Amino acid sequence: MSRRLKLPPRKNRVPELLRRLAVAYPHTGTALQFQSPFQLLVATILSAQCTDVRVNIVTPPLFARFPDAAAFAKATQMQVEELVKTTGFFRNKAKNIRAAATMILTEFGGEVPGTLDELVRIPGVGRKTANVVLGDAFGVTGVTVDTHVGRLSRRLGLTRKRDPVKVEMVLNKLIPRAEWTRFSHRLILHGRAICQARKPDCANCPLADICPKVGVRPLPMMTPT
């Protein structure tokens, strides 16, 4: 059997990790389809415990019926439930979306706010949803800790934390701010394509030799740029 080699400290591995993720996943951005920050907020709420593919099937007719916060605020619970039923947990999602629309109208003049502190006050919006909206609708960088980012951060030895907020705080210190949003997207893509929860494809993983779970080779020397 191969003997596992001791890897460099996590801070020393981060630049190489970012480089390899950028090579493997050069194009970043949310897979959710939207035409406005509010639509992205709604789509992200719907994506909880649901695939982006399913959300993208549900949102076109949903947004055709209710295109903005004003329209959702006037909708009935039953009307929204009927259109989002296939995303799971549809009653709570419909309730949160309608409450979010009402709050955005009454407290933010009908426009989705552009700061984390304001966004997390909105019903159904936690730090994950807020960071998605900030990064993909407003260009404000943030680390989005979903199940993939949390799982891979632990597998890659970046943190042992399990609470998403604590994982985010650790990654904020390790990852350069300019890379926060891109890093999140790339780790999500990697979690879906290669490093899946039940059956990670370590044999075809570009991060295998710098991953504490499978690494058996030394970190290659990086060429100065």
Whether 213 is catalytic: no
Whether 163 is catalytic: no
**Do 128 and 149 touch, CB atoms closer than 8 A?**
no
The whole-number pLDDT of residue 4 equals 54
- Quick: pLDDT tens for 64-109: 999 999 999 999 999 999 999 999 999 999 999 999 999 999 999 9
The whole-number pLDDT of residue 224 equals 35
3-state DSSP helix/strand/coil % of the chain, to nearest 5: 60, 0, 40
Token duo for residue 129: 């949803």
Exactly one of 52, 146, 173, 213 is catalytic; name it. 146
Within the chain, which residues score under 50 in pLDDT?
Answer: 1-3, 216-225
Domains and CATH numbers, the chain: 10-28+144-210 (1.10.1670.10), 37-137 (1.10.340.30)
- What is the rounded distance in angstroms from the CA atom of residue 92 to the CA atom of residue 100? 12
Does the reported pTM lie above 0.95? no
Nearest to 103 by CA among 45, 22, 58: 45
Exactly one of 68, 93, 128, 136 is catalytic; name it. 128
List CB contacts of 63: < 8 A, sequence separation 6 or more: 35, 39, 42
